[in-house]
Amino acid sequence: MKNNSKKLIIILFAEEKEKLNYALGMIATAAALERPTELFFTGKSFLSLINNNKISNFNYKNSQELLLAILDLNTKLSVCSGALFNHNINEKDLRNDLNINVTGLTSILSSENEDSQIIFI
């Protein structure tokens, strides 16, 4: 990883599979360019991360392939704790095959990320 690369954080609020796929493509590209990356699911976008979700938005074109790529490239996956709370979803209901960090918006906006590039979709 290059030390001078700004971290790319994509805050994914949209739940449409096309927007999820585009966010995955952007994150994968940045990670392949050796930038640190984080994909933060909020709103209803996290619903694709629910265990046994029959209507997953990761089924669009190459979304599953992109998901595997960003995981291989060490992208951090985070879910907004407030979004989970608002939809009465517990952390244990999230996919257990993915390393998902449940956190709040404060972690994204913390001083640790002050030099990060943040994109909201």
The per-residue pLDDT for range 45-100, each reduced to its tens digit, is: 998 888 766 555 566 667 788 888 999 999 999 999 999 999 999 999 998 888 99
Q: What is the pLDDT of residue 98?
A: 87
Find the domain containing 81 and state its range. 8-120
pTM of the model: 0.88
Task: Using a pLDDT cut of 90, give the percent of the chain over it.
Answer: 64
- pLDDT of residue 117 exceeding 50: yes
**Helix (H/G/I), strand (E/B), else coil: 79:** strand
Judge whether 2 lies within some domain: no
Q: Which two tokens stand for residue 80?
A: 């907004």
Judge whether 1 lies within some domain: no
Q: What is the pLDDT of residue 23?
A: 93
Judge whether 78 lies within some domain: yes
DSSP string, 14-48: ---HHHHHHHHHHHHHHHHTT--EEEEE-TTGGGG
The per-residue pLDDT for range 5-32, each reduced to its tens digit, is: 899 999 999 988 889 889 999 999 999 9
